[in-house]
């Protein structure tokens, strides 16, 4: 299994670039003493899983390759099994509506997901136990919503995975330039999910990933 410290560093984005993270922060993040955290970090460094320099920590390429390998093993064991997330509704950054109104995205969603999204996203905060499921999901082939350029501004690619939330159709999306961390899922749907499901911040929700089957686009 992927170690607790590696998960913590993944959440902090240490797989993308070196992050300034103290031993105390690691200890608090994984629920151990600072001495234990220090010992684990030293061991990971000896094993070539992390590198440390000037107070910054990064996951090495070896660690990233090992993570991907373990995720593939999990995918094989989950073959035919539905991935389900449980989380709580959370406030977003207020940018979802702007992006969901972009004509190119709307056309792509309608063509590839077969629905026109409500102009906004539902943000769901998942627990640490579900982060591994998120990583497993990202190893699967997504429905790719291509990026584009409009009025000298570029809009990035979006990876999407069909899902069902309380029986309603939707998709989990991963924008190329998302500011959210590993514990936040962004959901789009043809419905205003907050109103349709009577949701508010803190409401419990269950999201079930469904097959990315092709479909006939709606007019």
Q: How far apart are the C-alpha atoms of 38 and 188, rounded to whole Å? A: 41
Average pLDDT along the chain, 219 residues, taken 10 residues at a time: 80 88 89 89 91 91 83 64 88 76 89 90 90 86 88 87 92 85 91 94 93 58
pTM of the predicted model over 0.85: no
Q: Where are the domains of the chain?
A: 4-77, 84-209
Topology classification of domain 84-209 = Elongation Factor Tu (Ef-tu); domain 3 (2.40.30)
Task: Give me the architecture of the 4-77 domain, per CATH.
Answer: Orthogonal Bundle (1.10)
Q: How far apart are the C-alpha atoms of 7 and 120, rounded to whole Å? A: 29
Count Cβ atoms within 10 A of the Cβ of residue 167 and give its class: 0-12 exposed, 13-18 middle, 19 or more buried. exposed
pLDDT in tens, 6-29: 888 888 888 889 999 999 998 888
pLDDT (0 to 100) of residue 217: 46
């Amino acid at each position: 299994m992927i170690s607790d410290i590696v998960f913590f560093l993944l959440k902090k984005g240490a797989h993308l670039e070196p992050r300034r993270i103290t031993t105390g922060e690691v200890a608090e993040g994984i629920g151990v003493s600072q001495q234990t955290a220090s010992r684990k970090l030293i061991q990971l460094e000896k094993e070539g899983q992390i590198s440390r320099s000037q107070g910054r920590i990064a996951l090495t390429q070896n660690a990233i390759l090992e993570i991907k390998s373990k995720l593939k093993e999990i995918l094989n064991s989950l073959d035919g099994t539905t991935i389900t997330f449980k989380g709580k509704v959370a406030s977003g950054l207020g940018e979802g509506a702007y992006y969901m109104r972009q004509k190119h995205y709307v056309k792509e969603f309608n063509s590839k997901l077969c629905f026109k999204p409500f102009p906004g996203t539902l943000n769901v905060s998942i627990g640490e136990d579900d982060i591994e499921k998120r990583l497993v999901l990202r190893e699967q082939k997504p429905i790719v919503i291509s990026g584009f350029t409009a009025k000298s501004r570029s809009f990035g690619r979006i990876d999407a995975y069909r899902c069902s939330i309380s029986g309603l159709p939707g998709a989990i999306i991963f924008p190329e330039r998302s500011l959210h961390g590993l514990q936040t899922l962004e959901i789009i749907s043809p419905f205003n999910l907050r109103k349709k499901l009577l949701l508010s911040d803190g409401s419990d929700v269950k999201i079930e990933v469904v097959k990315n089957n092709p479909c006939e686009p709606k007019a």
